[in-house]
Amino acid sequence: MTHQTDQLPISMLNVLEHYTNLGVHRTGTEVDRTTTAWLEGLLGAMGARVTRHRYGFPMVQGSAALTGTLSDIPLMPLYYAGSGTVETGRVHVAALSLGEGHDPAEVDRDLAVIVAQARTAGAEMALVATRCANDSLSAINRSPDEALDFPICLAPGQAFTRLKEDTPHVRFDVRLADASSDNLIAELGGQDDPRPPLVITTPTSGWFTCAGERGTGLAVALSVAQAIAAEHPVLLVLTSGHELGYLGGRRFVDQFEGEIAGVLHIGSCVADKACFDAQCGVFQPGALGSVSNLHEDGFATVAGNLARMGVAMRRPARPLDPACWVGESELWAPRSVPMVSLAGASPTFHTPEDTFESAASAELLERMAKALLACAKELIRP
């Protein structure tokens, strides 16, 4: 049978819907394990040879809540910021502006200032209202290596005025527990093909149901991997622990020694309807960006495909420097192989409003999958 590599046989909308319906995709939870098992079965049905890459980590468990007249305001403990049980009214209230993509260096700097202010004020806890695109409760990625010894709770940005004008009283009960999660590594294509595989990688975990943030990328990655495997070996790397400082991807890449042809990194919000202008048929300005180190002709071809969707592409100033890439493509940068990386943010990024209804568009999924399939073909071009 002749394979048509421009066809996209996976039902991406069904993948997105099922992924979203599984629940809150937090690393190390039962939903995380259920997602891994579902994907393992789906990949097996696609003919992939699947292995699990397990790693351990300290998992944040527990909750925080306001009492009294403010009890309707939801709180989330900032990961790796304090532990134990605290019930206090000595709370320092602050606002934290989260720009596009939540730049980690800026967030860490601003959090350090807030903690210093809280300590100076004699507070036992910081209550941080997250100012983001929709002024909702916005989660913040945190690595276990970035632990702070001061409890911090996140609250919706829209609640800042109420919190400042009242006297918040918080119950905080957080602990760390040993946990584990799995990356899924799937080989697709001819088992006896001696050519180095193309790595296609996307994260599978994030905040809340993360339909647009993670689900759209997962659906597109599965589709592109299946299509490109008809003509070239593929190593599909599905990583957990993204919200924990790329923990799963970092653990995998650190021990991976195989030869590869290149890397297609499919990051956040790549086909998220919430940041797409349907009337103009392009992504909203600045919503999505791409980085590539392809040679001149390949770069022009890929840039042209993405430009038709309103996605700008740039070259990394220092190709081997992870800081010049985006998302988990940073982990692969030192490999010095051809790469294309795509990632962005929508108005619902990292918030409870990132749902199937806000994110889902069969047409947008198909358009993005076809554009990234063209990128994949450039990455394997001799």
| DSSP string computed for 235-298 | EEEEE--GGGTSHHHHHHHHH-----SEEEEE-TTTT-GGGEETTTTEEPTTSEEEEE---HHH
Tokens representing 316? Answer: 């990394």
Confidence band, pLDDT 50/70/90 cuts, at residue 299:
very high
Mean pLDDT along residues 255-280 = 97
- Per-residue pLDDT at 100: 67
Residue 5 lies in a domain: no
* CA-to-CA separations, 172 to 77, 145, 167, 175, in angstroms, rounded: 8, 22, 16, 10
183 and 79, same structural domain?
Answer: no
Predicted local confidence at residue 102, as pLDDT: 75
238 and 137 co-located in one domain: no
Residue 358 phi, psi (nearest 5)? -75, -25
Expressed as residue numbers, the domain containing 277 is 12-59+179-379
Structure tokens of 247? Answer: 């923990």
Same domain, 99 and 193: no
> pLDDT band at 9, cuts 50/70/90?
low
Residue 3 domain flag: no
> The tokens 């290596």 sit on which residue?
145
Q: Do 283 and 193 belong to one domain?
A: yes
Q: Give the CATH number of the domain where residue 282 resides.
A: 3.40.630.10
For residue 29, pLDDT over 70 is answered with yes
One domain for residues 195 and 333: yes
- Determine contact, residues 213/269, Cβ cutoff 8 Å: yes
Average pLDDT, the chain: 95
Q: Are residues 374 and 250 in the same domain?
A: yes
Q: Is the pLDDT of residue 2 over 60?
A: no
Q: Which residues pair with 130 in a beta bridge?
A: 96, 156
**Same domain? 22 vs 81:** no
Measured at the CA of 297, the angle between CA 291 and CA 298, to 5 degrees, comes to 45
CB 329 within 8 A of CB 291: yes
pLDDT, mean of residues 112-132: 96
- C-alpha 197, offset from chain centre: 23
- DSSP class per residue in 309-350: TT-EEE--SSTT-GGGS-GGGGGTGGG---EEEEEE--TTTT
Domain count across the chain:
2
- For residues 290 and 360, state if they share a domain: yes
The pLDDT of residue 103: 83
pLDDT at position 1 is: 29
Mean pLDDT calculated for residue range 29-55: 97
Residue 5 confidence (pLDDT) above 50: no
284 closest CA partner among 276, 273, 292, 274 = 276
Is the per-residue pLDDT at 3 higher than 60? no
Q: Which amino acid is at 4?
A: Q
Task: Report the chain's terminal Cα–Cα distance, integer Å.
Answer: 24
pLDDT tens for each residue of 320-349 = 999 999 999 999 999 999 999 999 999 999
Same-domain pairing of 306 and 366: yes
**Whole-angstrom Cα distance, residue 183 to residue 262?**
19
Give tens-digit pLDDT for 57-98: 999 999 999 999 999 999 999 999 999 999 999 999 999 999
CB 76 within 8 A of CB 158: no
2 is a domain residue: no
pLDDT category of residue 47 using cuts at 50, 70 and 90? very high
The pTM (predicted TM-score) of the whole model is 0.95
Q: Which of these three, 175, 206, 226, is where a domain ends? A: 175
User: What's the confidence (pLDDT) of residue 4?
Assistant: 40
Residue in the block written with tokens 């962005």: 344
> Would you state the pLDDT for residue 101?
62
pLDDT one-digit tens code per residue, 147-178 = 899 999 999 999 999 999 999 999 999 999 99
**Do 208 and 124 fall into the same domain?**
no
Task: Kindly state whether residues 321 and 198 are assigned to the same domain.
Answer: yes
Confidence of residue 146 (pLDDT cuts 50, 70, 90): confident
Q: Are 138 and 99 a contacting pair, CB within 8 Å?
A: no
Residue 201 counted as domain residue: yes
Instruction: State how far the alpha carbon of 179 is from the alpha carbons of 19, 30, 35, 58, in Å.
Output: 22, 11, 16, 6
The residue among 143, 175, 207 that closes a domain is: 175
pLDDT in tens, 364-374: 999 999 999 99
Rg, Å, the chain Cα set: 21
Find the CATH number of the domain harbouring 166: 3.50.30
300 domain-assigned: yes
Q: What is the DSSP string of 174-227?
A: EEEEEEEEEEEEEEES-TT--SPPEEEEEE---STT-IIIIIHHHHHHHHHHHH
Does residue 147 sit in the same domain as residue 240? Answer: no
